[in-house]
Amino acid sequence: MKNDLRTVFYRNLWRENPVIRQILGICSALAVTNRLENSLVMGLGLMFVTAFSSFTLSALRNLIPDRIRMIVQTLVIAAYVIIVDIFIKANMPEISTALGPYVGLIITNCIIMGRAEAFARKNTPVISFFDGLFAGIGYTIILLCIALIREILGFGTVFGFNVNFLNFTNWTIMVVPPGAFFMIAIIIWIASGITNRGLKKKESKKEGAI
C-alpha cells in the first residue's frame, strides 16, 4: 500500500473517514455538536492530539516494548489531552465550561488509538503526523456539518449570529440528543449513497467495455 501524502489525505477524509465509515470517535463527537463553536474547538483539539500522538508514538515505535505498548500509547495520548485541556481552560474559559468533561474524553476517542495502532506503528514520524492530522480533519468536517445543521435548525444561528430570516420556530428536537443521532444517520446515508452510486457507475462501465 502506498503511503504518500495524497493517499493518506484521501483515505482519512473520505474513503475511510473515521466518523462516517468506521463509526469511530462518536462518543465525544455528538455531545458537543449543538453549537458550531464548540465543535470547532473540539475538532481542533482532536487534530492536535492525533497528530502529535501519532508523531510521538511513531518516533518511539522501535523503542517501545511490545508488552507495554497499550499503556505507553494511553500515557502519551493522555498527556497531549491534558495539554489541550489546560490550554482551552486558560485561553477560552467559556468554551471550556461548555465542553465540560468531553475534552478529557478525547483520551478514549477510538480514532486516536486507532491511528496509533494501524498507522503510526508501521510508518515514519512525519507521515504519521499527517495521517493523524488528516484523520482529525476528517472528524472535524463531519462534526461541523452536523453542528451547522443542528445550530441553524435548533437555535436559528450560525456561530452565534442570527440567520433566522424566515422567522421559523426553532426545532427543539435538533438541540436535544436524539437530533444528533438523526443527523449522523442522514450524513452516513448520503455518504454511502454517493459511494454506492460510484460503484454502480464503475460496474456499468465495465459491462459496456465488454
Partner 1 sequence: MMDSPQISPFIIFFASIITSNMVLTNFLGMCSFISISNEFKTASGLGKAVTLVMIFTTVINFAVYKFIVVPLELEYLRYVVFIIVIAASVQIIELAMDRFLPELHIKLGIFLPLITVNCAILGISLFMVIRDYNFLQSLLFGAGSGLGWWLAISTLAAIREKTNKSKVPAGLVGPGLTFIIIGLMAMAFMGFSGIFTIQ
Partner 2 sequence: MKKGYTYTIIFMAVVSIIFTGLLAGVNAAYKKKITKNEETAMKASILASVGINTDGVDVNGVFNDKATEEKLNEVTYYSIMMNSDKTVYAIPFEGAGLWGTIRGFVGVSTDYSSIVGLAFTDQNETPGLGGRIDEDWYKEQFRGASLETVIEYGNDSGLDAITGATSTSNAVLKILNGLMDTTLQELEEADEK
**Which cell is 206 given?**
465495465
124 is a contact residue toward partner 2 (CB under 8 A): no
| Phi (first) and psi of residue 158, to 5 degrees | -130, 120
Q: Following DSSP, what letter does each residue of 6-28 receive, concatenated?
A: HHHHHIIIIIT-TTTTT--SHHH
**Residue 198 binds which entry of partner 1, partner 2, none, CB below 5-8 Å type-dependent:** none
Separation CA 18–CA 201 (nearest Å): 25
Shortest distance (Å) from residue 109 CB to partner 2: 17
Cβ-based nearer residue to partner 2, 75 or 199:
75
Place of cell 482519512: 12
**Which cell is 23 given?**
463509526
Separation CA 131–CA 141 (nearest Å): 15
Stretch that binds partner 1, among 37-45, 123-131, 139-147, 169-177 (CB under 8 A): 169-177
127 is a contact residue toward partner 1 (CB under 8 A): no
**Which cell is 59 given?**
518516533
* x/- track of binding to partner 2 for residues 161-180 (CB under 8 A): -----------x--xxx--x
Cβ-based nearer residue to partner 1, 127 or 146:
146
| Phi (first) and psi of residue 157, to 5 degrees | -135, 160
Shortest distance (Å) from residue 200 CB to partner 2: 38
- Judged by CB under 8 A, the residue of 59, 78, 141, 158 near partner 1 is 78
